[in-house]
Amino acid sequence: MKYSEINLEKQNYNMSCNTYGIGEHYKSVMALGRVLPTTKAQVKAFINISTPISVLNSKDALAIEKLLNKHQMYGTYKFTKSKNWVRLQNNEDLIVALKNEYLQ
């Protein structure tokens, strides 16, 4: 399903798309799929670890969708069993968007 079809309750916290500044320890959390890379070094580590982003709430999905849309791509999402979260299905597009955003 597309982002526009997601009807999640808006929550005030992020489940997975935490961001870390330069110099902070993030690799162990990134290995769990709970970090959205925001620097060149983090993008390189994200690609090397190759763990997909974990479950997302509405804010997380919106952040990923904005990044994908910036590079003419769209996210495909699937609800978790509890219907409280979604998962990104096309992680390859996210990697391409991150490479275009930070590594070129």
Whether the pLDDT of residue 12 is over 60: the answer is no
Looking at every residue in the chain, the average pLDDT score rounds to 87
Residue 65, token pair as written in the block: 């969708």
For 87, the token pair is 């998962």
pLDDT in tens, 30-65: 888 888 888 899 999 999 998 898 888 888 888 999
Question: Which residue, 103, 29, 22, 101, is CA-closest to 63?
Answer: 101
pTM: 0.85
SS3 29: helix
